[in-house]
Structure 1
């Protein structure tokens, strides 16, 4: 292919004029020329008014699950699908994380996440002829922190290389990365059973990190109707790190657990701007299979699955690709080295293109950038100020606050680590209110911080959680709710309704107690006699249900069938004033009445 003249490239970049010769002939992108480089808006003119907001990930998963169920296909549960008899799976992972910095990697343009498209673009980001890369030293801080969290050796000298390929999201025709001499090598990450690794891996497993390298991101491409695409160059040049693991993972669940653990670790050291679902972290997986009795020692041909955007997608895509490769080999075919894609809710991967290699990318040292020299004193300083690791903090949440491993890890993982800070803020506020923060209170607070706040996001995906652990429900207001609830001054139902009112802004900050007073929501519990009267009404005509309890009469209520007991308690709750009843008290009264009265009466009848 003949070399494209600079004049043509200039018209393409500055005026949106596409050449009709050579490889640009097939392009369908229409570019809008504008005068200001800092506010360029490249878009499809004819489809600009038809843009629709992206569908949230949770909704996509629900819709895909419904479609799969309607088709009659049954999907094997992942927990039972970690191995295939006679075959060994091998997985290596490449994780791309956007660094938490103010500037881009090679230009002074500010970084952005969800700002208006093409409002943070420098000349070099668009590869304007004559512009040069200028390495921003501040991007080293989060990069080194991340590498230290992954137990890597920081290299004193590292260098940048050019990785050549042409695509509309890469204006220069190459990406600047660190291929030959990355800034960090030889790391290791430990995974425990509580992290969600496959049961086949036992209580723990360690996975090697080959290297961590800095590189620039590409533009964001948004597909539009009519085969048009919109390009947002805000993302060009965003500072990334690429974390490359060794091929030491052999189960899909362990691969997903590793990505989840890496995200938690990067968040803990404030290195990554956001998580997978928000788009700040992406994973590519390399998958290969071979027969267990293969004595050659060679791994099978690997395929790469690009741009996985959720932990579930990592596990599902690996399972699907493993099964595809096994089916090909068992049919006598040959697995081709290629790049494949994955869609949320899919049951199989799809071919994208043939697999590129080092020769295809024509890696070469970047002539415009000098070496990066990292002072050991900087490394020591960052290592000493990195804070508590996720594993240590998880242990503290379990041992000091009585949480389950699952709840502890969820608190650490949600909202980039801000949810656990919110939890600490709630506990501090409870202490200020005079509450005893024993295990009962700390576990109750964790349940509300996780589950009740989580229910709010089913209506609004944005809690407005900040890095210092505050959101649309101030921690002091949630603490006040829990304080009244623990003192049995309000019911759980009232507390949940007040939580929604706080979230909607209907209760002024700090006004929880006043809202309870003004609306007369205090819990005025029924007397024991009133509970007993309701219990008597609930068992009327239920001789058949009571008969189920006769078999357990010797063991009294400890051995009663739970479902039958709660059926009668439910009748009590429905018959009485709910705002004056406590389910625990109702259950206790019903159990006592069954022991002392109803079973004797039923036995005499029989």
Structure 2
């Protein structure tokens, strides 16, 4: 009871503003050590942070920054994928031992003369063209003077007044969960330069020290400076992600932020809305992930706005600040230098860079299809924006998809397979698509075999996972595993069962429909090893029992290991099938086939979830629709320690995991039996410290679900404590989803033979129609 009642009570750490704007789920206490240098956390995943949904977070930030506008620009350093450094022949490899790949040129020793690596120019021209920039036919290098422990030479070779490219732009698409839409951000310049060294922080608990490693000194970089066109942390993060995609598609860099191959320095200022003059600019460093970019910007916007509101804007000075991942705030690093402090002058040891028209044209002709071009092409194929963004995010995935449809595969089916089972396999095995054993030709063959009726979708998934892990061909695996059963033989077995059981057939026709299971069992007994695989029988038009033959064959595909818990064993498949037949017929009479849609159902091993599944199969999904069973796991929940239903445990797995896996598999099989013509997908995700409702909401948006179905049971804490509008913890999961879901959300409670349905719309009349449209609460009979 105490756990239930205290669920709605939140604690807040006692912290100075504006950190209180972004509450954390876990409060940590850090021990400080004597140090002359501020230590910052660099590994985001080590910190247990509360991840708030973008919608809720955006609302908070809008409330804080009301009346002010943020101005954001980014300086991105792209480490080039060359074999040697920019001005010498020293190789560079990430992770090399310190001081192993350096020379007098890297160190700037007297008498050492730099020689420009031609690959640096080629990559700079490539990126300049891809960013729609104007190229400088004549450019030069300059010396940038500053003193810092990581700079062995005391100066950096860069470009100042004549960069190699300038005046471009980049196009990108904002994901749907962040509001969607197309954006174009200006590019001020792209210039070539060399990297400095690296400072390594060490300590024994009582003190810390810095070690300078010149390993990075001289590594070639391209610095991309954006126009101050961004206004939110989300836009800035998406800009950085698009730039990462671009350099990977071009092959000029691997773009790995964790290795320092893509480093972003963000400039943030705020000004009152309507003011033309920019505010005081603050630079933020130590941003090693896209989420860190977004969070750091949002914090800095809040900090500056609060200082303005308290008439303390004089405290906003031009400086460089560090993002402290542990404290989730920015801290002062050093006062920002101005251009005059760097004392630029032309590099005397390097000649000018002169580009010829033929050289530029040859590089332009060698450019691959870029991410923006791929997205527009995929859109023209009829794919949704979510599909487009997923496929075009990774060049290897995009190439695999293109190769698959070039082999004749259906575009939408190929996208579904890659985004569903293949993506799940890659995530679980931590592999890229090129590291799997599957080739595009075999995926196209698999799709054709399923579409043509040679094998079922269930068998197709078995073959897919076999090919992903071990390779092989579709035809070879079908033959090897004897996955095709002769429909003629199946018909003979069904006819024999009917002929040998005339009394049971008469009783079935008289209304004892529960005998359907008896017939299925008799057919299975003829040849259990053969019939448990699904063939494709055709019912005889002359036989009035032909439809039941097909249903029995569908039932018989479940193998000997299938045990359903009590709450699922009573599932009324006959009622579902009859209801579907009636609704499909009615829908066809009203105007023909309706467009396929995506229905997501929250799948848990509970009776409420079973009721939601029954509702979904009755009223939400029909032929050619996609049903996504989303299971949100919480391995640390106290409820997972106990199981009220017995389930055969999988060897090597915990009891709770085995129970959940078996329950979800049983639900999936039930869907395939009741509706063999729909596509059933299972997605298992972890809460990872987030609220369950926020996880469900995120994935429903990610999959562009048209309908979201969830079983609902009124919790005791809500009944006693009541609701608190706007608070996720003040609502149960179903209520929160109804309030915040962009698609139609239906919460289902089972009241005997009837459903109690809740949704976000007032009109409930069409909740039980063949096609759900917009719908608060009604009671409706299901029979």
Who is 1:524 aligned against?
Answer: 534
2:139 maps to 1:161:
no
Aligned 8 A contact 2:120 2:192 in 1 = no
2:434 maps to 1:454:
no
In terms of mean alpha carbon deviation, does 452-461 or 417-426 score higher? 452-461
If the length of structure 2 is used for normalisation, what is the TM-score? 0.56
Q: Which runs of structure 2 are paired with 1:302-321 in the superposition (5 Å)?
A: 302-321=281-300
Aligned 8 A contact 2:185 2:229 in 1 = yes
Quickly say closer, same or farther: Cα 1:82–1:520, change in 2 above 3 A: farther
Q: Which runs of structure 2 are paired with 1:66-465 in the superposition (5 Å)?
A: 66-68=48-50, 77-80=56-59, 83=62, 84-113=65-94, 120-191=101-172, 204-221=182-199, 223=201, 226=204, 227=208, 233-276=214-257, 279-292=260-273, 294=275, 297-334=276-313, 335-343=316-324, 347-400=328-381, 402-414=382-394, 417-428=395-406, 430-431=407-408, 437=409, 441-463=410-432, 465=434
If the length of structure 1 is used for normalisation, what is the TM-score? 0.70
Quickly say closer, same or farther: Cα 1:67–1:209, change in 2 above 3 A: closer
1:546 Cα deviation (Å)? 7.7
2:523 maps to 1:473:
no
> Residue deviations 1:404-456, cap 9 Å, x none?
22322332222xx222112122233x43xxxxx3xxx2222223333433323
Equivalent position SS for 2:398: helix
CA–CA distance in 2 between the matches of 1:532 and 1:572? 22
CA–CA distance in 2 between the matches of 1:476 and 1:605? 45
In terms of mean alpha carbon deviation, does 112-121 or 448-457 score higher? 112-121
Quickly say closer, same or farther: Cα 1:463–1:240, change in 2 above 3 A: same
CA–CA distance in 2 between the matches of 1:245 and 1:300? 17
CA–CA distance in 1 between the matches of 2:465 and 2:118? 45
2:565 maps to 1:565:
no
Quickly say closer, same or farther: Cα 1:197–1:154, change in 2 above 3 A: farther
Aligned residues: 508
Aligned 8 A contact 1:157 1:371 in 2 = yes
Who is 1:31 aligned against?
Answer: none
> Residue deviations 1:544-567, cap 9 Å, x none?
x989x99xx999886999743347
Equivalent position SS for 1:289: strand
Equivalent position SS for 1:209: strand
Quickly say closer, same or farther: Cα 1:77–1:352, change in 2 above 3 A: farther
1:236 Cα deviation (Å)? 2.6
Equivalent position SS for 2:168: strand
Aligned 8 A contact 1:526 1:581 in 2 = no
5+ long unaligned stretches in structure 1: 1-25, 29-53, 432-436, 589-593, 596-602
Quickly say closer, same or farther: Cα 1:328–1:444, change in 2 above 3 A: same
User: Which structure's relative contact order is higher, taking Cα pairs within 8 Å and 6+ residues apart?
Assistant: 1
Aligned 8 A contact 2:87 2:114 in 1 = yes
Quickly say closer, same or farther: Cα 1:232–1:473, change in 2 above 3 A: farther
1:304 Cα deviation (Å)? 0.8
1:147 Cα deviation (Å)? 0.8
> Residue deviations 1:317-361, cap 9 Å, x none?
211110111112212213122212225586422322222222333
CA–CA distance in 2 between the matches of 1:483 and 1:345? 51
Equivalent position SS for 1:382: helix
Quickly say closer, same or farther: Cα 1:575–1:279, change in 2 above 3 A: closer
In terms of mean alpha carbon deviation, does 472-481 or 279-288 score higher? 472-481
